Amino acid sequence: MRNWAILALLSLVAAAVCACETVSGSAAPLTRRGFSPTKEAVYVHTVTPAPSELAMLGLVSARGVGNEATVDQVIPELIHQAQRLGATHLVIDDLHMEYHWYTSLTTYSYRCGFGWCTDASPASHEVATLVARGRGFGPGATKP
């Protein structure tokens, strides 16, 4: 129950804004042996150690890009990536926000006096990225 309370709290903090621009994810299996994807429920662990009776199947990550990225959009993608590995348990190791500040110059020309003058106007914007990383566990051959 404590895991869901933490996720709910993080969700409320981040849900003050709407939807993010894009959500993407990736899954990296630990072995070359393919696992069959699952549609089963995935148990999410946030503060507990990895399930000792299960094997680690691989690493998963998800990111929401945009100033309005929320946990509600990124965690389902992280769970989907764990399902791609065939995992039944997901341990969230990292959840953080990255901020990038971009500045560009726009140049323009205008008539001044007897000729043309050129000037530049700076424009800047901030882009936020919500990043989540974890490990997928399930029945398999490799213990962590």
User: How high does pLDDT run on average in the chain?
Assistant: 78
CA distance 57 to 43: 14
Q: At 73, list the tokens.
A: 């959009």
- Residues 18-48: tens digit of each pLDDT: 455 788 887 888 776 656 777 777 888 776 6
Beta carbons within 10 angstroms of residue 58's beta carbon: 24
Which residue ranges make up each domain of the chain?
2-138
CA distance 48 to 33: 28
Q: At 60, list the tokens.
A: 């998963």
In this prediction, residue 49 has a pLDDT band, given cuts at 50, 70 and 90, of low
For residues 61-73, give the mean pLDDT.
Answer: 84
Cβ proximity of 71 and 14 under 8 Å: yes
